[in-house]
């Protein structure tokens, strides 16, 4: 099972890099539609909190280094905190409750708290001009379309995965 989770983590990391590139290619802004979040949230739901958190950390780092999206400073480390939180929390909450929407919404709120912590760490280390609360809250209004996309797409994707015999064989 561990080998399958490692391979599937690699798949979600690849999606976390490629999906934002596709969005940018067709002029759909990442900070608005949050395309990197969807593979991380799915990883948390399907692989659990540990692998979901690892996928969440690695996606913005690889994407930032390979494509410049997110910008390496100050956004990339803050996103790594935030997406790590999404992966951990979706995995943890879903494993405990088996309820999709409460797990998703809890992770979306908790991930923003992780982002505030990440912004605080960035502000005391490499970017003193970053105000943690303003950084996260300031981006929140812009991210509402992406949050709506997540609330629609994640349950639909989870339903497709749960109905797919191939996906079920991969996850067992």
DSSP 52-111: HHHHHHHHHHHHHHHH--S-TTTHHHHHHHHHHHHHHHHHHHHHHH--HHHHHHHHHHHH
pLDDT at residue 105 in the model: 98
Q: Say how many domains are in the chain.
A: 1
Residues 6+ apart with CB under 8 A from 24: 30, 69
Residue at 100 is within a domain:
yes
CATH number at residue 61: 1.10.1760.20
Q: How far apart are CA 11 and CA 13, in angstroms?
A: 5
Q: Is the pTM of this model over 0.85?
A: yes
pLDDT at residue 152 in the model: 97
The per-residue pLDDT of the chain, averaged, comes to: 94
Which parts of the chain have pLDDT scores under 50? none
């Amino acid at each position: 099972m561990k080998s399958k989770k490692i391979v599937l983590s690699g798949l979600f990391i690849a999606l976390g890099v490629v999906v934002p590139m596709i969005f940018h290619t067709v002029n759909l802004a990442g900070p608005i539609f949050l395309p990197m979040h969807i593979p991380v949230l799915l990883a948390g739901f399907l692989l659990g909190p540990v692998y979901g958190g690892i996928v969440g950390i690695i996606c913005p780092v690889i994407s930032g280094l390979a494509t410049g999206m997110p910008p390496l400073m100050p956004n990339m480390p803050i996103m790594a905190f935030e997406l790590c939180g999404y992966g951990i929390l979706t995995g943890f909450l879903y494993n405990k409750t088996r309820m999709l929407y409460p797990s998703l919404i809890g992770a979306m709120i908790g991930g923003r708290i992780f982002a505030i912590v990440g912004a605080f760490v960035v502000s005391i280390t490499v970017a003193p001009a970053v105000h943690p609360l303003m950084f996260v809250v300031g981006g929140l209004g812009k991210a509402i379309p992406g949050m709506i996309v997540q609330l629609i797409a994640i349950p639909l994707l989870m339903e497709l995965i749960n109905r797919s015999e191939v996906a079920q064989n991969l996850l067992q």
